[in-house]
Amino acid sequence: MNRPIGYWVKRLDAALESLLDSSLSRLGLSIRQWRVLNVLRSGPASPAEIEDTLRPSATGGAAQQHDMAGLVRNNLVFLLDGRLALTDAGLALHAEVSGLFEDTARELTAGIGTDEYATAVSVLERMSNNADRLGPP
């Protein structure tokens, strides 16, 4: 059966979330916590900057505060002058997770050429932008 693009996007998203969740939970992280660590890899940021960077996947509010508190409690990030930054342990965990994800990405894209991948990403980006443009006023 020929299925529409929405089916494949949702199926891939669910599969990726499941893979990420499984890998991260073995390391004691949630997906949201990983996303925060990944943002902080570029340098210190305020909680508001982190939330802004993580849109559209940011949940904000109590869930975000809980995740950030857990990262601080586990000595992966520290708060200085209202900005969060990675500790040495946070940097090491980020590197470990990044390596794991690079291996997974290689397996996920097996048999897909660089041009094919770039085209798929470009098409999805344009469709997303079009949907945003067409969305409610």
Average pLDDT, 10 consecutive residues per value, the chain (137 residues): 91 92 91 91 90 69 76 92 95 95 92 96 94 86
Encode pLDDT of 44-53 as tens digits.
999 888 888 8
Cα 14 to the center of its chain, rounded Å:
13
Q: Which residue has the tokens 């210190």?
A: 44
Does residue 136 have a cis bond before it (omega within 30 degrees)? Answer: no
DSSP character at residue 79: E
115: tokens are 């041009």
Report pLDDT for 85.
Answer: 95
Reference 84, options 137, 41, 52; nearest CA is 41
Question: What tokens appear for 43 in the block?
Answer: 């340098």
